[in-house]
Amino acid sequence: MNELRVIPIMGVGAVEKDDDLVEILLSAIDTQGLALEDQDLVIVTSKVVSKAEGRVVPFDGSEEHKVVLVEAEARRVLRRRGPLRITESHHGFISANAGVDLSNTAEGTAVLLPKDPDRTARRMRGEIKRRRGVDVAVVISDTFGRVWRNGVTDVALGSAGIRPILDLRGTNDANGRPLEATEIAIVDEIAGAANLVLGKAMGTPFALLRGLDPSYFGEGSISESVIRSANDDLFR
Amino acid sequence: MNELRVIPIMGVGAVEKDDDLVEILLSAIDTQGLALEDQDLVIVTSKVVSKAEGRVVPFDGSEEHKVVLVEAEARRVLRRRGPLRITESHHGFISANAGVDLSNTAEGTAVLLPKDPDRTARRMRGEIKRRRGVDVAVVISDTFGRVWRNGVTDVALGSAGIRPILDLRGTNDANGRPLEATEIAIVDEIAGAANLVLGKAMGTPFALLRGLDPSYFGEGSISESVIRSANDDLFR
């Protein structure tokens, strides 16, 4: 295996509705003296996708309004505690407050999750190929809590050009026995790795991963591969 | 922020009971032409910790015996489905089958989780300091499933020299409002990042992370910071 590099893309300012995210990304990469290569992977935090796609709504700052916004974004509420809702979003993501975001938003607004993050990732990948001639993977990431462990981590909401799950079923261990725990959610490990360099407070929205194993690249989407069906879920 | 490098440490053979893991690690790093530096972080997969600490038990290969081993390692069983158990281990980790591992183990054996991964991480960090004079963080990692997303990811079972949770409470966003989602489980994002270069099938047990933000280093343990108390848990 080779070394993996995780590189923050600096110098990106505020993103507004209808901004060209690919142009902003490519300019910032140029400014940093980098050039995209085949089998690079670009992380895009979902907040800037939402802003560029106009997923910004008025918000009066009250707990009551927050609950209204959250429940409108949810197709199901799994748990309630005070103003906190654990929800299943229209996409199928289970998280706190349906991903409705009140940090790093303009005064009087809240930011909703992107409508279709897999589609955005595919579109950005296609645009990068068209403008620069390179085959890169794209992952749209966001920050979710976990059930049994404190703290939040970044996970993937959308992806293109990468196999979200590395499937080692049928692979044997060093002793010739089938491997256990053989479906590795590399796309979420990638989102988390990027978050280590993104600097939460500064809001850097892009990172570049270089040196991922070539076998990780391929077809797939988060909606088809990563979202667990309710039938397979022991805790819904 | 600087670039983060995630480097697999290659050429490590099978680990046996009472092997000196720090010696094995340092030799492999030397062989690779690397030298540890202050604020490096070393990932050690829990399997080799368990083997070195003799946490290997006889296993007859049957589903019945597996369930007996798993239930002996659990202080509570949360869910049962066929031979699968979702358990709370004696440490407080909630995972499938109490972390009992049947891959990459010697014929007729199973591997249990390390007794006290935080203590092992502290001991290894101290030994590295003693032998090489450098201050590195150590994280013991293992592979766990998640509730609502397919696939497994690596998380931290033990740590030393790193703040497991980056606490940004009290930090404001670019608009001066308090950040949400402000306790980031960097230690789990670190474990996941390392898994991207470890190569599941090959069983490489060590990785080196270089370039982590200096603010990540400090005191803390997984048992105190990351394991969620049952009181705070909406899904137990």
Domain ranges of chain B: 5-49+114-227, 56-113
Pairing of strands A166-167, A183-184: antiparallel
- Nearest CA-CA distance, residue A131 and chain B, Å: 26
Q: What is the pLDDT of residue A136?
A: 98
H or E stretch at A111: strand A109-111
**The pLDDT of residue A174:** 66
State in words which class domain B5-49+114-227 has: alpha beta
Alpha carbon of B212: minimum distance to chain A alpha carbons (Å): 7
Q: Which strands sit side by side in the sheet containing A74-81, from one edge to the other?
A: A74-81, A84-89, A94-96
Q: How far apart are CA A74 and CA B216, in angstroms?
A: 35
Parts of chain A with a pLDDT under 70: 1, 174-181, 200-203, 236
The CATH code for residues B56-113 is 3.90.1660.10
**Contact at 8 Å (CB) between A181 and B143?**
yes
Q: What's residue A11's pLDDT? A: 87
| Cβ contact A175–B106 (<8 Å) | yes
Does B101 touch chain A if contact means CB atoms closer than 8 Å?
yes
Distance of residue B123 Cα from the nearest chain A Cα, in angstroms = 24
Q: Taking CB atoms and an 8 Å limit, are B226 and A201 in contact across chains?
A: no
Nearest to A212 among B102, B164, B196 (CB): B196
pLDDT at position B131: 98
According to DSSP, the β-strands at B94-96 and B84-89 are antiparallel
| Side-chain-facing half-sphere of A177: CA atoms under 13 Å | 14
Whether A236 sits inside 8 A of B148 (CB atoms) is yes
Task: Note the ipTM here.
Answer: 0.95
Give the tens place of pLDDT for each residue, A55-106.
999 999 899 999 999 999 999 999 998 888 999 999 999 999 999 998 778 8
Stated pTM of the model:
0.95
Determine the pLDDT at residue B175: 67
Among A61, A55, A53, residue whose Cα is nearest residue A73: A55
Measured between beta carbons, which residues in chain B are less than 8 angstroms from residue A2? Answer: 197
Please name the residues between 130 and 149 in chain B that touch chain A, using a CB distance below 8 Å: 143, 145-149
Contact criterion met (CB < 8 Å) for B203 and A173: yes
> Coil, helix or strand for A165?
coil
pLDDT at A1: 55
Give every CB contact of residue B229 below 8 A, 6+ residues apart in sequence.
none
Q: Which of B53, B52, B51, B25 shows the shortest CA–CA distance to B40?
A: B25
Instruction: Write the residue in A164, A189, A201 that is nearest to B196 by C-beta.
Output: A189
pLDDT averaged over consecutive 10-residue blocks of chain B (236 residues)? 90 93 97 97 97 96 93 94 91 94 86 98 98 98 93 97 90 69 92 90 86 96 92 76
Of 3.40.50.10490, 3.30.1330.100, 1.10.10.10, 3.40.30.10, the CATH number of A5-53+114-228 is 3.30.1330.100
Chain A residues whose beta carbon lies within 8 Å of the beta carbon of residue B226? 149-151
Task: Work out the minimum CA distance from A100 to partner chain B, whole angstroms.
Answer: 11
Q: Which residues of B touch A106 (CB under 8 A)?
A: 175
Beta strands in A121-234 (DSSP E): 137-145, 152-160, 166-167, 183-184, 206-210
Q: What count of other Cβ atoms lies within 10 Å of the Cβ of residue B35?
A: 11
